[in-house]
Copies of this chain bind each other. A is one copy, B any other.
Amino acid sequence: MSELFYGTGRNGTDDCVIGVDFGTLSARAVVVRVKDGNILGEAVAEYEHGVIRRLPGTDTELPPDWALQDPEDYLAALKCAIGGALRAAGLRREPAPVSDSCGPRIAALGFDFTACTMLPADETLTPLCKKAAFRHEPHAWVKLWKHRSAGAQARELTARAARRTDLWLTRYGGAASAEWYFPKVLETLENAPDVYAGTDRFLEAADWLTALLTGNEVNAPSFAGFKAGYTEESGYPAEELLTEIDRRMKGFIGTKLRGKVAKPASIIGYLTEKGAELTGLPAGTPLAVPVIDAHASMPALNLTKPGDAMLILGTSGCLIMHSDDAKNVPGTCGYMKDSVIPGLTTYEAGQPAVGDIFDWFARTSLPADYQLEAHARGIGRQELLTEKAAKLKPGESGLVALDWLGGNRSVLADASLRGMICGLSLSTKPEEQYRAWLEATAFGFRRILDQYEAYGVNVDNICVSGGIALKNPLLMQIYADISGKKLAVSGAAQSGALGSAIMAAAAVGCYPSVTVAAESMSAPYDRIYTPDPAGSEAYAPLYRKYCRLHDYFKDL
């Protein structure tokens, strides 16, 4: 590969954008050609401290529901991943100042981040955990999205919100999550008042990073809307709600949470000298408004129009979709207009356990003879179960299950619900039960789609991402048959970073809209699953049974 220079010079057909995806354990950067989405270079940088289970310099293991990170890891990974991606693309920094470099221009930078991943910082944006006074205080560190020890605060927030008339919580499925912004802040206030007092702002890590890079303190809309209860109509939750819980929250909004909520797919600012130092990119490079990591994948999968949806299947399941109408759909996990695609409303709904159920079954219920067979044939437990389950016809076993082994997030929003399997007989085999659990998660997915459609929000076009979507064709065919929807599957590992790059390209005006940008730049699908009419017909009565059981067990 020939060595090229890059800079901020004139437009050209080789213009690139850079997208960075901040995940749970690493950041991935891609250098993408604007005209066709071609990924010229890519690099991954792991966070040095990963998820912190023990604070540096201490001996105490954190409780199991804690998950902290070190904010400096983000900065190190950012620079390392961008540098690596540029090198992989065969690009190196042009000697400044050169006005007519022949290399491609880096038209813009965009990134996505996990959420709510938040930290307390002082007025200089220094994270409190980096100050000597606070470094042994766990609450001074970044609370990662899956830091879940603020359950009590989430429950109190839910209970108090339910007694009020503003009802902001109803659009979030009626229950605040321990993963959200305010439970995490309240947990710090109650358990580490010194940290609270010493904090100038409690920031989403994404917003902290944009402020560091550009000097502009603004809040990215998808984080504000989906994690901090912000709505376009009434802003953040009412102060009275927060002070009811703790009167020390008086004045919180406007001081410790401040800054304008930005518009999506817009330029938040330009890299300062410090920003240039932190990224290795030229000062003045435009930075796009960041989005939540999962949302960033959507433009990468060409899902930017009303009715477009992405189903992420991993240990859990998450359905994100765009609509041109902002309707309140009871029991979904939230919606926000102008959070990802300008003018559209983005919805979220989910299932707390999907792959986790299959894994639980294979771990706890696979008899020794099956285990031996899998071992002898050198295949995995689930591979064996899938192979045997694939030989069964829909409904053949008579089993129907409820997929609530981790509770129900949508449409019942009740974490205390539990799983059920019925139709068991003395001749029931493990593969029949395994298939029933596959089907149960598909029924749960269909139930969410039905909820949207019942409230007038249509889902037209679905793309599935996540490892098990690629690994388990039986599961995908069951999802297609049960939902009656054509399902595209994408295995693009870079979809988050590519999506952030596409958002940046649209934000900086390389394309007139995210939709047009995505049409040119998105990644191809790996496979498309079409519903088999015979399968759909066979599943219809089973789905009706699932719905009856769903409605019975929700109140049992």
Instruction: Give the number of times this chain occurs in the complex, counting copies.
Output: 2
> Is A57's CB within 8 Å of the partner chain B?
no
B365 adjacent to A368 (CB under 8 Å): no
Quick one: which of B366, B419, B429 contacts A368, CB cutoff 8 A? B366
| Nearest CB on B from A424, distance (A) | 4
Stretch at the interface among A237-245, A353-361, A529-537: A353-361
**Chain B residues positioned under 8 Å from A366 (CB to CB):** 367-368
Chain A positions within 8 Å of B, measured between CB atoms, are 353, 356-357, 360, 363-368, 371-372, 398, 402, 405-406, 418-426, 428-430, 545, 548-549, 552-553, 556
Further contacts, 6 of them, CB under 8 A, given A357-B426, A363-B367, A422-B553? A364-B429, A368-B371, A368-B372, A420-B420, A421-B421, A422-B556
CA distance A420 to B552 in the complex (A): 14
| Nearest CB on B from A506, distance (A) | 40
CA distance A424 to B398 in the complex (A): 19
The 7 closest A-B pairs by CB, nearest first: A419-B424, A420-B422, A368-B371, A368-B368, A365-B365, A418-B423, A405-B426
Quick one: which of B365, B429, B545, B553 contacts A367, CB cutoff 8 A? B365
A360 adjacent to B545 (CB under 8 Å): no
**Would you mind naming 22 contact pairs between A and B with Cβ atoms under 8 Å apart?**
A353-B426, A356-B426, A357-B426, A360-B426, A360-B428, A363-B367, A364-B428, A367-B367, A367-B368, A367-B371, A398-B418, A402-B422, A405-B424, A405-B425, A406-B425, A406-B426, A418-B424, A419-B422, A420-B424, A421-B422, A422-B553, A552-B552
CA distance A366 to B371 in the complex (A): 11
| Nearest CB on B from A422, distance (A) | 4
CA distance A364 to B432 in the complex (A): 11
CA distance A548 to B556 in the complex (A): 9
B418 adjacent to A421 (CB under 8 Å): no
CA distance A553 to B398 in the complex (A): 14
CA distance A548 to B406 in the complex (A): 23
Contact (A430, B365) CB under 8 Å given A552-B552, A556-B545: yes
CA distance A356 to B427 in the complex (A): 10
| Nearest CB on B from A362, distance (A) | 9
A420 adjacent to B421 (CB under 8 Å): yes
CA distance A241 to B171 in the complex (A): 64
CA distance A363 to B366 in the complex (A): 10
| Nearest CB on B from A123, distance (A) | 43
**Chain B residues positioned under 8 Å from A430 (CB to CB):** 364-365
Identity of the chain B residue whose Cβ is nearest the Cβ of A370 in the assembled complex: B368
CA distance A368 to B364 in the complex (A): 9
CA distance A423 to B356 in the complex (A): 16
CA distance A250 to B445 in the complex (A): 60
CA distance A419 to B367 in the complex (A): 20
Interface centre among A398, A418, A548, A549 (most CB of B within 10 A): A418
| Nearest CB on B from A315, distance (A) | 9
| Nearest CB on B from A381, distance (A) | 9
| Nearest CB on B from A65, distance (A) | 14
